[in-house]
Amino acid sequence: MAASGDATGQDRAIAIEAPVAIEINGLGYAVLMATPVDLNDLAYGFVLAERLIDTPGDVIEVAVHPVAAGTLLRVTLTPDRHHRVADRVRHRVSESSCGLCGIENLEQALRPLPALSVSSNATPAAILAAAATLRDHQPLARATGATHAAALCAADGTIRLLREDVGRHNGFDKLIGAMRRSGLDWDGGFALLSSRCSFELVEKAVLAQCPLLATLSAATTLAIDRAAQAGLPLRTLVRGDAMLAT
């Protein structure tokens, strides 16, 4: 519809948002609302963010099964990781009953983060350059206007790898999973996300040993606090020729 109020017919692609149920070592673990592409990458990134694995070798198999209601993602981890899965399933069941209640659940929600052992060589100019070209690497966003992007950027701002999803968390999990599966490292670069900077994204970055996290929108207070605790540099509100550094 135009500003004048006149309406014309037009065909347009629509982003897919569908349930993706994740089963780990035979246990129902989570249901995500996600874009059902790059699901193997999603699985690897998800189990890393959940602290269920230490290395990609802890994943034996990822099987993708289309079902009537969406997609079932069956992940098999090595037997020595099963106790982590069972422990997290127990906490997640208690969390789902009434939200994050009780000291045990609060401790699970804000578990200590490891300190970063890597650093980025990216300059502000490189971060702005990556942001300026981000949309060129987003075919789903250009077609639908409804997906987030997570990009692995070189220190000079070149976008090396990108994943998209309707969910910002899923997009970052897909990127990190793709990196782990292909053996890519940050190499002094950074992550650039099209979303706001939430504490969950900070935690994913730290657990993936990302040396710097940049986002197009602002950060929350908890994201800033969690990043400071782990020593993760943040660059937020990356727009035009400016950004915020925390």
First to last CA, the chain: 41
* Residue matched to tokens 């650093």: 119
Catalytic residue among 98, 101, 197, 210: 98
| Residue type (1 letter), 144 | T
Side by side, the strands of the sheet bearing 18-24 are 27-34, 18-24, 70-77, 59-67
Q: Which residues pair with 20 in a beta bridge?
A: 32, 71
Contacts for 106 with CB less than 8 Å, ≥ 6 apart: 100
Distance set, CA 48 to CA 208, 216, 218 (Å): 8, 24, 25
Task: Note the helical H segments in 134-188.
Answer: 139-144, 168-182
DSSP letters for 93-112: HHHHHHSS-SHHHHHHHTPP
* φ and ψ at residue 131, rounded to 5 degrees: -60, -35
Name the DSSP letter for residue 36. S
Judge whether 98 counts as a catalytic residue.
yes
Active site residues: 98
